[in-house]
Amino acid sequence: MSIFRLGEQQPPEARRINDEVVMRFEHVYEVDPRLMELTGQQSMPAWDTQRIVDGRWDYLDWMHDHFADEVLLAGEESETMEGRG
Amino acid sequence: MSVAFKSAIDDAVLDELRAIIGDDDRVLTNLSSRVNRTRVPAPFPVHRWAEHMPDVAVLPTSTEEVSEIVKLANRLRIPVVPRAGGTGLADGAVPLRGGILVDVKLMNRIHEVDLVDRTVTVGPGINMLKLNEELRRHGVFYPDDPASYPCSLVGGRIGAGGWSLLGARYGHTRENVVSMQVVLPTGEIAQIGDGGGRKLRKSSTGFNLKQLFTGHQGTLGICTEATLELAPRPETEFAAFFAFEDYASAWETTGILSKSGLATIAGVVLFDEWKIAYLRRDDEAYIEQPESVRAVVAVAMYGRRVEVEPASKVVMQLGRSAGGRYLGDEISSGDWASRHDRYAIPLHGRSTEGQAVPMSWHCEDAALNYSALPKVREAWHAIVARYRERYEIFDDWGMFAYTGGANKPWADYLVEIDVGIWEQRLNEETWSAWVDCKREIAEVTLAHGGSITACHGATRAGDAELVPTEMGTAWPVVKAIKRALDPNNVMNPGKQSLDEAYE
């Protein structure tokens, strides 16, 4: 169970991924705010970001289950991301 | 004979509609009900919204109600526009001349599940996802799977003659509709199928009318009931994504996979360099991929585990046979799952200054043979680049090519170029530019022996006027059929250049 602590809801500082993308939470990519001047962004507490990310994974799992009883994987790592962490 | 239309809805007509429906809440004349049934997700002339509004929207609940509505419209020469989910990427469900919009969403019942002869009979307002939730307990499913799977409805799929993500294995909409009940443009009710049987898949009696009534874009009638195929629910799904350093290798691999003879292959998808560049902007699966990833091929299989598991090993070999590198289990399974629902994505593009802006999605969906893909790709991108250079509303989101042949995936492809359109900046000049851009793209398709649409329908300005060209010597036949079935041109008028049938 996660506990809501107000002090933990401020998103951390973004780190740059590339010229157009930043990251505040692990594996959560964001369009660089410099490119969002014409499209306003609302500030979002950490729990809400996590809720949306978790919801996305739940949705993909649901979709797999909807179409087949099981998902068979090749069981192999990415051959393009080798050595990239 | 010339048949011209203008709206003819007055209080007397509304009174007749209310008498037919018997429930004033299902005869809607208020502004919001009509506005919400005007456009579809595709780019829309928002600066001329009012021109496309229906005069009244009705929500029938039975075939008899639809029949009486259409008889009324035919008697008074009022346009009728059928609409199901309104999720199309062309204008099949968009009124061009006002009139009566027949919204079939309340006709959403499952009438019969026949597990012996393997059919399910439904109303046209049911959604495939909801239908399959019900069918799951029987161990069967209805295998029609568009990118709008969670929100599009059976009636719209039949009207559009839709393409399915799983079509290589299970067929597309027209293969999965066994028969249907249709209200013709004069209001008569007809049972349409292969021959006369409601549950027969193959007959040589009379004409094969089922094909005629699948994909007419609502111009030949309104489907009010459909008997659909039931396939065994897949036991196992397998998806694999392969990366390539150049388009040519990816194209070659797409051909290798689609011609492999593996019967469990449900679809092969080719992503070109522009598509990868687009995904690299802000799609989690592609942002951190190295620059050497310039094209991708995805393949998915469904079936029994005894079929899929050995075939998966062959796919892994074939996917690498021309230089492909496996993108890993996480992307392969996750990205494939997301392909069932492309409407959940908040669409945005980049202005010419690089700013993220909301855009609507123009998806040009030609049918092309495998051999034509490389040249068409170059020509299409050149067209969009030229327009983007001149107008800020365009953004090139890249191209996909999907296996398009039902159960025979080896030669035909649904080829799409996705173009973001910044609707907030639309005006007469930019709208005309978009229509011109669309027409140029369609002309390239025809020049390469293709068809200007494989799924969405040629109902929009920019390609509707090319339908006679594409149909060629068959165009007089098309016009004769339209004129015979719809003598007063009331059924979804203005689409596919069918007004020529009345000249």
Q: Are B419 and B400 in contact (CB under 8 A)?
A: no
Mark whether B307 and B419 lie in a shared domain. yes
CATH of the domain at B21: 3.30.43.10
| B345 shares contact with chain A (CB less than 8 Å) | no
Q: What chain B residue is nearest to A57 in terms of C-alpha separation?
A: B334
Q: What chain B residue is nearest to A22 in terms of C-alpha separation?
A: B282
Considering only CB atoms, which chain A residues are within 8 Å of B312? 72, 74
Residue B455 lies in a domain: yes
Calculate the alpha carbon distances from B88 to B93, B423, B463, B495 in Å. Answer: 7, 17, 15, 14
Q: Is the pTM of this model over 0.90?
A: yes
B137: its two tokens:
């307990």
Mark whether B311 and B324 lie in a shared domain. yes
Spatial neighbors of B218 by CB under 8 A, at least 6 apart, are B81, B82, B83, B92, B93, B159, B491, B492, B495
pLDDT above 50 (res B2): no
| B73-88 pLDDT, tens digit each | 999 999 999 999 999 9
Residue B473 lies in a domain: no
- Cα-only R_g, chain B: 23
Query: What ipTM was predicted for this assembly?
Result: 0.93
Residue A85 banded pLDDT, cuts 50, 70, 90: very low
Average pLDDT over all residues of chain B:
95
**What is the total residue count of chain B?**
503
State percent of chain B over pLDDT 70. 98
Indicate yes or no: CB of B235 within 8 angstroms of CB of A81: no
The domain boundary, picked from B179, B203, B232, lies at: B232
Mark whether B92 and B141 lie in a shared domain. no
Q: What chain A residue is nearest to B165 in terms of C-alpha separation?
A: A67
User: What is the mean pLDDT of the segment spanning B344-354?
Assistant: 85
Domain interval for residue B208: 110-232
Q: What is the pLDDT of residue A1?
A: 60
Q: Are B294 and B247 in contact (CB under 8 A)?
A: yes
| B355 shares contact with chain A (CB less than 8 Å) | yes
What is the Cα–Cα distance from B415 to B426, expressed in whole angstroms? 26
Give the containing element (helix H, strand E) for B325. Answer: strand B325-326
Q: In A, residues 14-33, which contact B (CB 8 Å cutoff)? A: 17-18, 20-21, 27, 29, 31
Which pairing describes strands B119-122 and B348-350: parallel, antiparallel, or unpaired?
unpaired
Residue B484 lies in a domain: no
Residue A6 banded pLDDT, cuts 50, 70, 90: confident
| B127 shares contact with chain A (CB less than 8 Å) | no
Mark whether B119 and B94 lie in a shared domain. no
Indicate yes or no: CB of A79 within 8 angstroms of CB of B354: no
pLDDT above 60 (res B3): no
Mark whether B400 and B261 lie in a shared domain. yes
Mark whether B212 and B68 lie in a shared domain. no
Which of B3-7, B305-309, B352-356 is predicted least confidently?
Answer: B3-7
Spatial neighbors of B39 by CB under 8 A, at least 6 apart, are B46, B49, B52, B86, B94
Residue B482 lies in a domain: no
Mark whether B346 and B453 lie in a shared domain. yes
Q: Testing the interface with A: which of B142, B166, B327 to mutate, by most A Cβ within 10 A?
A: B327
Residue A84 banded pLDDT, cuts 50, 70, 90: low
Which of A75-84, B63-72, B283-292 is predicted least confidently?
Answer: A75-84
Residue B6 banded pLDDT, cuts 50, 70, 90: very low
Mark whether B34 and B150 lie in a shared domain. no
The domain boundary, picked from B174, B200, B232, lies at: B232
Mark whether B84 and B116 lie in a shared domain. no
| B15 shares contact with chain A (CB less than 8 Å) | no
Residue B26 lies in a domain: yes
Indicate yes or no: CB of A29 within 8 angstroms of CB of B284: yes
CATH of the domain at B122: 3.30.465.10
Chains A, B: CB pairs < 8 Å? 123
| B346 shares contact with chain A (CB less than 8 Å) | no
pLDDT above 70 (res B168): yes
What is the Cα–Cα distance from B477 to B379, expressed in whole angstroms? 32
The domain boundary, picked from B87, B105, B123, lies at: B105
**Which of B381, B457, B459, B369 has the alpha carbon at shortest distance from B414?**
B369
Residue B181 lies in a domain: yes
CATH of the domain at B294: 3.40.462.40
Amino acid at B182: V
Q: What chain A residue is nearest to B354 in terms of C-alpha separation?
A: A35
Calculate the alpha carbon distances from B94 to A68, A72, B59, B155, B225 in Å. Answer: 35, 42, 16, 15, 22
Considering only CB atoms, which chain B residues are within 8 Å of A72? 236-238, 305, 308-309, 312
Mark whether B289 and B303 lie in a shared domain. yes
Residue B499 lies in a domain: no
Mark whether B306 and B441 lie in a shared domain. yes
What is the Cα–Cα distance from B285 to A39, expressed in whole angstroms? 23
Q: Alpha helix locations (H) across B402-492?
A: 428-447, 467-471, 475-485
Q: What is the pLDDT of residue A83?
A: 66
Which of A22-26, B19-23, B102-106, B265-269 is predicted least confidently?
Answer: A22-26
| B389-443 pLDDT, tens digit each | 999 999 999 999 999 999 999 999 999 999 999 999 999 999 999 999 999 999 9
Residue B490 lies in a domain: no
What is the Cα–Cα distance from B245 to B223, expressed in whole angstroms? 47
Indicate yes or no: CB of B287 within 8 angstroms of CB of A73: no
Mark whether B33 and B144 lie in a shared domain. no
If one counts the domains in chain B, the total is: 3
